[in-house]
Amino acid sequence: MSGGPGIVVQRWSPLSIGAMSCLGALLVLLAFGPFYLGPYLTDRLTTLLIYVIMAAMWNALAGYGGLVSVGQQAFFGLGAYAAIRLSHAGLEAYLALILAPLLVGLVSVPLSTFALRLQGGEFAIGMWVFAELAHLLVNLDGLVQGETGTSLIALSAFAPDTRRALNYWLALAVMTVLVAAVFLLLRSRVGASIQAIRDNQEAAASVGVRVMATKCLIFVLAAVGCAAAGALTLATLISFQPKTYFSVQWTAYMIFMTLVGGLGTFEGPVLGAVIFFAIETFFGGSGVWYLVGLGACALLFSLFLPRGIWGALRDRFGIALMPVGYRLQFRPRAGKAAT
Amino acid sequence: MIWADQIVQGIFLGGYYALIACGLSFMFGVLRIINLAHGSIAVLSAYLVWMLADRWNVSPFLALVAIVPAMAAAGWLLQRTVLERSLRSGALTPLLSTFGLAVMLDNLLFEKFGADTRSLAPNIGDLAFNSWTVGGGVTIGQLALLTFGVALALLGGLQLFLNRTPLGRAIRATAEDADTAELVGIDSRRVYAAAAAIAIATVAIAGTFLGMRATFDPYTGPAQLIFAFEAIVIGGTGSLWGTLIGGIVLGVAQNLGSQVSPRGFLIAGHAVFFVVLAARFVLAGRDPRTLFGALRRAPI
């Protein structure tokens, strides 16, 4: 692409091409994970993959779509619940886990026409109310037995090692597909549209951006992603207690990962998920203080480093490993990048 | 008749919801911030009052005399340290920072006070359970009536304060257009901080009534935030009085729901919230700005 005189508009840089190649290699390496990682690491990595999904989805919604939701646990819980329902209806367990998020995605379409008319904080708490209502309604289902909960019994038909490997591969596949979907979406026309809406909805509408359709797309994608994270969590835990799955804690984790990694940056949430995973591994046992720390970090990052760690690095060095924006390159000398 | 009693109790419950919604609505109207730590701050106040009442065996009402100014100061500080800074980096940042604050507060309360539920009811003697029988099976609790009266007084007082006092005028002017208000000599930073102090002071009162009428634990906050928010949106008539009506609708719906099924209390409350929301979308057509103009305009 070319810009004005003396300016080249680029998307890829040698750095990002290298990074994407490394990422491809890493994915191939990860795909063979269960063969060399051992049971403990396989389980832990599955958890990390689920965190990456959650962070990427919340970031797509809030960082790019400007839609801060405190109710994503609704989809997380519904994803797990739908999997249990589908399995109960006779579907094979893993098929149920794959179809459940898509089913939740279907439910989120009518919800979106409603929720997306709420603005800012109204949307944030409105989604929270929806999550509470979804929780209460799921509790009404006799199959769930209220807060006692139930299990995805069909999974116990698999040997523990088989199930562990299948969970891992499923998590890896879902993560890859969802992150790639966000990547491609952001690079497409939709990506420019959604960011224009985030920055100024009226102005975006005035230049012909289809506001509702674009927001709906990102909302449904985030719903499917969070539902997939819920279904995958069910696959690892097997048991389903509504209280656990519909807890606002999940959204708190998403917010923490996204804020620390970098809200509105593509690579940030992945970094945030890794940081959260490490913190959880080392401090998760310290109970309440760990949660106090998460809250404090979210508060401090939103105040002092609103673009997170990755955002600060990007602003300073102009690096983009997975480029979703464009760079202006001045011909005479290598210039600063702008995304 | 059980239904009549449930409706009356629902109306009084609505008084509590109006009380808890008051600070949230005020802060949104003036600062354009939905404070996600609202419920947690109410619970924090309840714990502070409980600490004073428990340690020195004083009445919660007396404890409020100390806690209201303390929470007002906390509100001032909250505005200066957190809200002002987050508002500068965009409209969405206050949501993130106040959510982080809520998570922090809830868990700090858990760390300090543990999982036990507390109540201020033992500290107010007969007031907690005395009631009058009106006839037709309807009873009116003294505390419920007091809560309703305080809600009325607080809403009315705030309305008068905004309409009649110099600071009230300054707050309205700043809420309307901070830059223009600055031109006529209003220090908008001070006005915002004063508004935040007033909002959090009302939260302290609401938290105390929460403690007197029910039990609370460190994680009671988010539910209070949700009830307060629902009351505002259901009422949504563009004034603090709308909040009272919203609270009453919510309270009545919940009490009627609880008659249908034990789980009906919360479900009916959330359901009525969504029904009102849907009705407003249909009535207001396609312009989303007029839908929540009510909330955005509250309390002015």
**For chain A, which domains are there?**
7-330 (1.10.3470)
Reading the block at residue A287, the tokens are: 């109970």
Q: How far apart are CA B263 and CA B259, in angstroms?
A: 9
**Which positions 118-147 of B are in contact with A (Cβ < 8 Å)?**
none
Q: What is the pLDDT at residue A264?
A: 86
**CA closest to B292 among chain A residues:** A118
pLDDT band at A332 (very low <50, low <70, confident <90, very high): low
Q: Does the structure show a pLDDT above 90 at A171?
A: yes
Reading the block at residue B144, the tokens are: 């419920």
**Best of B31, B92, B109, B291 to mutate (most A CBs within 10 Å, chain A):** B92
Q: What is the pLDDT at residue A201?
A: 83
Q: What is the pLDDT at residue B300?
A: 41
Instruction: Give the distance, in angstroms, between the CA of residue B62 and the centroid of all CA atoms in the same chain.
Output: 21
Q: Which among A57, A239, A254 has a CA at the least distance from the CA of A150?
A: A239
A224 vs A315 pLDDT, higher one: A224
Smallest CA–CA separation between B258 and chain A, in Å? 13
Q: Give the range among A144-153, A175-184, B44-53, B219-228 with minimum mean pLDDT.
A: A144-153
| Cross-strand bridge partners of residue A9 | A328
Residues of A in contact with B230 (CB under 8 A): 129
Residues of A in contact with B233 (CB under 8 A): 122, 126
pLDDT in tens, A72-100: 999 999 999 999 999 988 889 899 999 99
For residues B132-139, average pLDDT: 78
Q: Does the structure show a pLDDT above 90 at B30?
A: no
Residues of B in contact with A71 (CB under 8 A): none
Q: What is the pLDDT at residue B286?
A: 46
pLDDT in tens, B214-264: 889 999 999 999 999 999 888 875 577 888 999 999 999 999 988 888 888
**Which positions 213-252 of B are in contact with A (Cβ < 8 Å)?**
222, 225-226, 229-230, 233
Reading the block at residue B55, the tokens are: 């340690």
Residues of A in contact with B86 (CB under 8 A): 302-303
Q: Does the structure show a pLDDT above 90 at B108?
A: yes
What size, in residues, is chain A?
339
Return all residues near A292 (Cβ < 8 A) that are at least 6 apart: B103, B104, B107, B108, B111
- Check CB contact of B113 with chain A, cutoff 8 Å: no
**CA closest to A67 among chain B residues:** B92
Q: How far apart are CA A168 and CA A49, in angstroms?
A: 8
Q: Which among A72, A75, A95, A100 has a CA at the least distance from the CA of A85?
A: A100
Q: How far apart are CA B107 and CA B40, in angstroms?
A: 10
Q: Does the structure show a pLDDT above 90 at A226?
A: yes
| Cross-strand bridge partners of residue B215 | B119
- What is the pLDDT of chain B when averaged over all its residues? 86
Q: How far apart are CA B234 and CA B274, in angstroms?
A: 9
Q: Does the structure show a pLDDT above 50 at B297?
A: no
The residues of A whose Cβ lies within 8 A of any Cβ of B are 62, 66, 68, 70, 114, 117-122, 124-126, 128-130, 132-133, 136-137, 139-140, 248, 252, 255, 259, 263, 288-289, 291-292, 294-303, 306
Domains of chain B: 2-297 (1.10.3470)
Contact A291 B95 (CB under 8 A): no
Q: Give the range among A142-156, A261-275, B179-193 with minimum mean pLDDT.
A: A142-156
Instruction: From residue A23, give the alpha-carbon distance in Å to each of A266, A275, A324, B58, B279.
Output: 14, 18, 15, 64, 49
Q: ipTM of the assembly?
A: 0.86
Instruction: From residue A35, give the alpha-carbon distance in Å to each of A25, A27, A38, A233, B49.
Output: 17, 14, 7, 22, 59
- Compare CB distances from B96 to A117, A291, A302 and report the shortest one's residue: A302
DSSP state of A286: G
Q: Which among B251, B267, B256 has a CA at the least distance from the CA of B213?
A: B251
Q: How far apart are CA A174 and CA A172, in angstroms?
A: 6
Residues of A in contact with B267 (CB under 8 A): 133, 136-137, 140
State the Cα torsion A184-A190-A192-A197 to the nearest 10°: -140
Q: Does the structure show a pLDDT above 80 at A331?
A: no
Q: Could you tell me if A102 and A224 are in contact, meaning their C-beta atoms sit under 8 angstroms apart?
A: yes
First to last CA, chain B: 40
Instruction: Give the other-Cβ count within 10 Å of B157's Cβ.
Output: 13
The DSSP bridge pattern shows strands A327-330 and A7-10 to be antiparallel
Please give the backbone phi and psi of residue A13, each rounded to the nearest 5 degrees, phi first. Answer: -125, 160
- Compare CB distances from B97 to A70, A294, A302 and report the shortest one's residue: A302
CB contacts < 8 A (A, B): 125
Q: Does the structure show a pLDDT above 60 at B298?
A: no
**Best of B32, B82, B270, B283 to mutate (most A CBs within 10 Å, chain A):** B270
pLDDT band at A339 (very low <50, low <70, confident <90, very high): very low
For residues A60-77, average pLDDT: 92
DSSP state of B128: G
Contact A122 B292 (CB under 8 A): yes
Reading the block at residue B261, the tokens are: 């099924």
Contact B266 A124 (CB under 8 A): no
Q: How far apart are CA B213 and CA A278, in angstroms?
A: 43
- Three-state DSSP at A66 gives coil
Q: How far apart are CA B43 and CA B221, in angstroms?
A: 6
B210 vs A330 pLDDT, higher one: B210
Q: Which among A250, A132, A316 has a CA at the least distance from the CA of B274?
A: A132
For residues A167-177, average pLDDT: 94
Q: How far apart are CA A75 and CA A70, in angstroms?
A: 11
Reading the block at residue B67, the tokens are: 């806690």
Q: Does the structure show a pLDDT above 50 at A34?
A: yes
Q: What is the pLDDT at residue B295?
A: 42
Q: Which among A64, A55, A339, A61 has a CA at the least distance from the CA of A199?
A: A64
Return all residues near B135 (Cβ < 8 A) that are at least 6 apart: none
Q: What is the pLDDT at residue A3?
A: 52
pLDDT in tens, A1-27: 445 667 777 777 878 788 888 888 888
Q: Which among A333, A136, A156, A317 has a CA at the least distance from the CA of A242?
A: A136
Contact B277 A125 (CB under 8 A): no
Q: Could you tell me if B204 and B120 are in contact, meaning their C-beta atoms sit under 8 angstroms apart?
A: no
Smallest CA–CA separation between B74 and chain A, in Å? 16
The half-sphere exposure of A213 on its side-chain side, counting CA atoms within 13 A, is 7
Contact A121 B34 (CB under 8 A): yes
Contact B110 A133 (CB under 8 A): no
Residues of B in contact with A139 (CB under 8 A): 263
Q: Could you tell me if B40 and B254 are in contact, meaning their C-beta atoms sit under 8 angstroms apart?
A: no
Q: Does the structure show a pLDDT above 60 at A49?
A: yes
- Three-state DSSP at B133 gives strand
Contact A136 B96 (CB under 8 A): no
Which residues of chain A form beta strands (DSSP E)? 7-10, 150-151, 239-240, 327-330
Smallest CA–CA separation between B59 and chain A, in Å? 31
